[in-house]
Structure 1
Amino acid sequence: MKLLLTLVGLVAALGTVWPAHADANQDQAFLVSLGAAGISYKDPDSAIAAGKKVCEMANEGKSGIEVVKVLQDGNPGLTQTNAAKFTAISAGVYCPAQLPNAQSTSGG
């Protein structure tokens, strides 16, 4: 539950950073955002592909927790916190329509 709340918080915070429509610099913005979050990667193309895969999983109905688990399974060195950040950044850049409505999680 704590991870879900953290993920929702990250998504809510990061959701305001990116425009709703993709532009020509979307992949670069994604990589810069990963770096700013302290997430390293060996291959930019693989990182971009993984970011886009997050959106595919969301479109398939996977929960944020399931997406984080898939990322960790595929990247054993990735911490749960960084997997959650990666998921939030990916959604914010590549599929902002998939972001949950932060208002509905506020409880009041």
Structure 2
Amino acid sequence: MLRKPLTALALSSGILAAAAVVAAPAHADPVDDAFLHAVSEAGVMMGDPGSAAAIGQQVCPMLAEPGQNAANVAAEVADMGGLSLGPATMFTGIAISMFCPAMVSSIGNGVSPIPLPFLGI
């Protein structure tokens, strides 16, 4: 006799828990938002902001791979994002400035792994 009420209670609890997960607001990453704003301000247009942020976050690990340089990474960004090389280079530079602070600080020490004159460094 208790089985039906317990089953109904369990089912209701499961539905409420699922609804709470689905209804939870998504929290935007402030660094991603700033990156997307900077890319937009630079005139680099990429279709999906989510994929643009994901590609931007991949720039630092790509640049850290042995033998990679900014030109290689920009070419990969161009392929991934469907951009021509000029906008991809700008995108790559902005990604480095936003997501790779250690690389940007090494540029200030005269150890530049990347040519980024458009960052003002």
TM-score exceeds 0.5 = yes
C-alpha change, 1:47 and 1:65, in structure 2 (3 Å) is: same
**Distance (whole Å) between structure 2 residues aligned to residue 103 and residue 64 of structure 1:** 18
* Structure 1 gap segments, 5+ residues each: 1-23
- 1:101 aligned residue: 107
> Of the candidates 65, 69, 76, which is equivalent to residue 70 of structure 1?
76
Percent sequence identity is: 32
User: Do structure 1's residue 27 and structure 2's residue 35 form an aligned pair?
Assistant: no
The two structures have a TM-score, normalised by structure 2, of 0.59
* Structure 2 gap segments, 5+ residues each: 1-28, 113-121
Residues 1-47 of structure 1 deviation map (CA, whole Å, 9 limit, x = unaligned): xxxxxxxxxxxxxxxxxxxxxxx511110000011000112111100
Larger helix proportion, structure 1 or 2? 2
**Distance (whole Å) between structure 2 residues aligned to residue 59 and residue 35 of structure 1:** 25
1:58, 1:98 within 8 Å by CA — same for their partners in 2?
A: no
User: Do structure 1's residue 39 and structure 2's residue 41 form an aligned pair?
Assistant: no
Superposition CA RMSD, Å: 1.8
2:63, 2:69 within 8 Å by CA — same for their partners in 1?
A: yes
Q: Using the TM superposition, give the Cα deviation of residue 73 of structure 1 relative to its aligned residue in structure 2, in angstroms.
A: 2.3
Residues 32-67 of structure 1 deviation map (CA, whole Å, 9 limit, x = unaligned): 001100011211110010001101101223200110
Q: Using the TM superposition, give the Cα deviation of residue 87 of structure 1 relative to its aligned residue in structure 2, in angstroms.
A: 0.5
The two structures have a TM-score, normalised by structure 1, of 0.66
1:51, 1:90 within 8 Å by CA — same for their partners in 2?
A: yes
Name the larger-Rg structure: 2
Q: Using the TM superposition, give the Cα deviation of residue 103 of structure 1 relative to its aligned residue in structure 2, in angstroms.
A: 6.0
Q: Using the TM superposition, give the Cα deviation of residue 80 of structure 1 relative to its aligned residue in structure 2, in angstroms.
A: 1.5
**Distance (whole Å) between structure 1 residues aligned to residue 47 and residue 69 of structure 2:** 27
Which of structure 1's runs of 4+ aligned residues deviate more than 4 A? none
**Distance (whole Å) between structure 2 residues aligned to residue 41 and residue 101 of structure 1:** 27
Task: Say how many residue pairs are matched.
Answer: 81
